[in-house]
Structure 1
Amino acid sequence: MIGVLVTFTQTDKFDRSTLAKIAGELRGPFEGMAGLRFKSFMLDEDGVQARNFYMWDDDEKGRSFFTEELVDKVTGIYGVPPKIEYLDIVGFVDNSGT
């Protein structure tokens, strides 16, 4: 299992309502996506970093998703290029079914 943390950092604060709108508009393609366990859209406490976290069942799918074309697309959406970090998930707790 692999986690991917995608961070967009601005010098000014992100507008929370704009990010919520982006999350709502971009949600559809991720629902039911093969290999994607979950994706979250987040805003840090200071409002200067928008972060998206993905959990993939398969390393190859997780890494191959972030193409140069996708990076260009999300740079246009968020207004700044992302920093992409790949994380080895060594344990996971899922309380969603309880």
Structure 2
Amino acid sequence: MIGVLVTFTQSEKFTRSALAKTADELRGPFEGMAGLRFKSFMLGEDGVQAKNFYVWDDEEKARAFFTEEIVEKVTGIYGVPPEVEYLDIVGFVDNSGT
């Protein structure tokens, strides 16, 4: 498994309501996406960072998703270019089934 943390940082604060609306509007294409286990839309504590965290089955699928076109698209949505960080998941706890 591989995690991908996508961070958008801007000088003005993101609002929770605006990010919640974005998450609601963008969730459809991710539901049932091959290779994607989880995706979360998050707001940093300071409000100047919006973060998306993905858990993928493998690195190839993760890297294939984050094309230049996707980066351009999300830059337009969030108003700033993202920082994309790939993380090797060495352990995972999933309590969703309990």
Please confirm whether the aligned pair reaches a TM-score higher than 0.5, indicating the same fold: yes
CA distance in 1, matches of 2:27, 2:83: 20
TM-score in terms of structure 2 length = 0.99
Taking only aligned residues, the RMSD between alpha carbons, in angstroms, comes to 0.4
Match of 2:45 in 1: 45
Q: Which runs of 5+ in 1 are unaligned?
A: none
CA distance in 1, matches of 2:67, 2:93: 29
Match of 1:88 in 2: 88
CA distance in 1, matches of 2:51, 2:7: 5
State the identity %: 84
Deviations 1:8-28 (A, max 9, x none): 001010011111000000000
Match of 1:78 in 2: 78
Query: How many residue pairs are counted as aligned between the two chains?
Result: 98
- Deviating runs (4+, > 3 A) in structure 1? none
Deviations 1:34-60 (A, max 9, x none): 000000000011100000000000110
Q: Which runs of 5+ in 2 are unaligned?
A: none
TM-score in terms of structure 1 length = 0.99
